[in-house]
Every structure is written in structure tokens, then in C-alpha cells.
């Protein structure tokens, strides 16, 4: 089977900036332009990091449109389009396609706890409703369910299922998926701290939280890996590792929004039930940014 997507390198799971309770369009567009200038290989708006659970559908669609407009085809856009309602996921995926997204990122249905057959039918329904590639987002810690390798293999037979954002943090899973679906199944890490191991097991890239704050370093890591320069890749991974860890001391995206506020990129505004991080987490995030050379 020919590759349906060929995404490689560092993709940023973008935050959604807020101001006075509303979307901050200027800050968001500024982030997109900065990310591209810093070497980011692709953009992922309104996923978990983009606070998709607390933006309205209209806001969700506007953020996708702004991202595509600002990117201007310079890098691919994988638009978040997941929901635990299949009908809602189809609506968001169809909008993303119409807006010009290169692909959609669809999370396994959280809270409902569907069976493997239920997950298959959910993704098949979305597959049948659109004409652009779908990246499965498998994140058991948040969705409670875990899509099996066999279910992914069944889905990969469909015309639009292209790959996975794998947030299981399991190196075994990468190899199992590669063995079952082959090299054309586009495997992207969804877990920053294990990205080096993920790539070593056959991964193609990462949809990253850390790259919101350190886009150039994350991009350089993947460039080094693609060149086979393991020494440089390891050095960069070590430089980024405190960020990979400390940006998750409290629930994402609170720490990364604080980090971006230190860089003057956005206001540190979140929507309830997300709240600003505690002082110990601020200390940890600042320390990690110093270690990475992002601030003094």
C-alpha cells in the first residue's frame, strides 16, 4: 500500500491563546509564524494542548482556519478533529477538509469507553465522510481506552487511515505497529520524553508539546536523527529532557502556557477547569528553560 501521508520530523501541538475570555487571534497567528520560522515541520491546532475540550465548535473551527491561513502551505496542518461523539467528529473533520487541512487528528473516543469494534466503527464512519488522511490519536492515559494493534491494522485497510499519534510511551508498541502495518503506516510520537527511543524503534516524527517553547531545538533534534547523527540527537535530547519532563509536572497545557508567557509569546490564560500552575511548577519550568538555553 502506498503511503497516505509522509509526515516527518517535529510537529507542534499548538496551544490556543486566550485574552479577556476570548480567543487571541493575533497571538495565535504570531505563534504559527514563529514556529515556521524556527524550523517546525508541521502544525497541529486544537488538540489536547489546544484546550479542545473547552473551546466551542465555532472557536475550534476558527482556530483551524487561522492556522491554515497563516501557514500558507509552508508546512502541513493536521487539524484536531476528535470527539467522543462520532457525529461531532465527522462535522469537525469535514470542516477541516473544507478549510484546507492536510490531514485530521482524531482521538479515540474518551469517556464512552467503546470496545475495539466500537472504535473501528467510529473511525470508519469518519473515514467514509471525508477525503483527507486521518491520523489516529491513541492516548490511553486521557481517553481510558487503548486501541489495539489489530484494530489499527484493520483501519489501515481503509482509504484515509494514514497513521498514529502514539502517546502510549511504549517502545514495544512502535515495533509491533511497524511489524503489522509496515513502514508506510505513519508513526508519530505523542510523548516527548520517549521520542528518542520512539525514533530508534522506527518512528517517523513527533507531535510535540515541548516544541511550542523550543521549536528550533526540537526541529534540530529530528534533523540530526534523519541524518543519522545520533551523537547530536542525543545531545539535543539531553538538553530538552528537563522540558520534556517538567512541562508535564501538572496537566498539559498549563505548564507550557506558563513557559510561553515567559517568552512573551502569549498571556498565561487558561479555561476552567484548567488553572495556572503552582509556584513549585513555575520553578521547575523556569529551570528547564534555563537548561535548554531558552532564558537566562
Structure confidence by residue, pLDDT tens digits, 108-126: 999 999 999 999 999 999 9
Degrees, nearest 5: CA angle 152-109-195: 60
Catalytic annotation present for 120: no
At a CB cut-off of 8 Å and minimum separation 6, what does 94 contact?
A: 129, 130
pLDDT classification of 1: cutoffs 50, 70, 90: very low
Confidence class for position 3, pLDDT limits 50, 70, 90: low
pTM for the whole structure: 0.97
Do 41 and 205 contact (CB within 8 A), yes or no? yes
Q: Which helix (H) or strand (E) holds 99?
A: helix 86-99
The active-site residue out of 4, 61, 165, 269 is 165
Instruction: Extract the annotated binding site.
Output: 49, 207
Do 81 and 96 contact (CB within 8 A), yes or no?
yes
Rounded to the nearest 5°, which phi and psi values hold at 81? -145, 30
Choice among 137, 239, 257, 258 that is catalytic = 137
User: Domains (ranges, CATH) in the chain?
Assistant: 9-230 (3.20.20.70)
Average pLDDT over residues 137-163: 97
2 pLDDT more than 50: no
pLDDT score for 263: 98
Is 137 annotated in the active site?
yes
- Give every CB contact of residue 169 below 8 A, 6+ residues apart in sequence: 191, 193, 194
Averaged confidence pLDDT in the chain:
97
Amino acid at each position: 500500500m502506498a503511503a497516505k501521508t509522509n509526515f516527518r520530523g517535529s510537529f507542534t501541538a499548538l496551544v490556543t491563546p486566550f485574552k479577556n475570555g476570548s480567543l487571541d487571534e493575533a497571538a495565535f497567528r504570531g505563534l504559527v509564524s514563529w514556529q515556521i520560522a524556527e524550523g517546525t515541520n508541521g502544525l497541529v491546532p486544537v488538540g489536547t494542548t489546544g484546550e479542545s475540550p473547552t473551546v466551542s465548535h465555532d472557536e475550534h473551527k476558527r482556530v483551524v482556519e487561522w492556522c491554515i491561513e497563516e501557514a500558507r502551505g509552508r508546512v502541513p496542518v493536521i487539524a484536531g478533529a476528535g470527539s467522543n461523539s462520532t457525529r461531532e467528529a465527522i462535522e469537525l473533520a469535514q470542516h477541516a477538509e473544507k478549510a484546507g487541512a492536510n490531514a485530521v487528528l482524531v482521538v479515540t473516543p474518551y469517556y464512552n469507553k467503546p470496545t475495539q469494534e466500537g472504535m473501528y466503527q467510529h473511525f470508519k464512519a469518519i473515514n467514509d465522510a471525508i477525503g483527507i488522511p486521518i491520523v489516529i490519536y491513541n492516548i490511553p492515559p486521557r481517553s481510558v481506552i487503548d486501541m489495539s494493534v489489530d484494530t489499527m491494522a484493520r483501519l489501515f485497510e481503509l482509504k484515509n487511515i494514514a497513521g498514529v499519534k502514539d502517546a502510549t510511551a511504549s517502545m514495544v508498541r512502535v515495533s509491533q505497529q511497524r511489524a503489522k502495518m509496515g513502514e508506510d503506516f505513519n508513526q508519530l510520537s505523542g510523548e516527548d520524553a520517549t521520542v528518542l527511543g520512539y525514533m530508534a524503534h522506527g518512528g517517523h516524527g513527533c507531535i510535540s508539546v515541548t516544541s511550542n517553547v523550543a521549536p528550533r531545538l526540537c526541529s534540530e533534534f529530528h534533523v540530526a536523527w534523519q541524518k543519522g547523527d545520533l551523537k547530536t540527537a542525543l545531545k539535543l535530547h539531553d538538553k530538552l529532557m528537563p522540558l520534556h519532563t517538567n512541562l508535564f509536572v501538572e496537566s498539559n497545557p498549563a505548564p507550557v502556557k506558563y513557559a510561553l508567557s515567559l517568552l512573551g509569546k502569549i498571556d498565561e490564560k487558561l479555561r476552567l477547569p484548567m488553572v495556572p500552575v503552582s509556584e513549585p511548577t513555575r520553578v521547575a519550568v523556569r529551570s528547564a528553560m534555563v537548561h535548554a538555553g531558552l532564558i537566562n
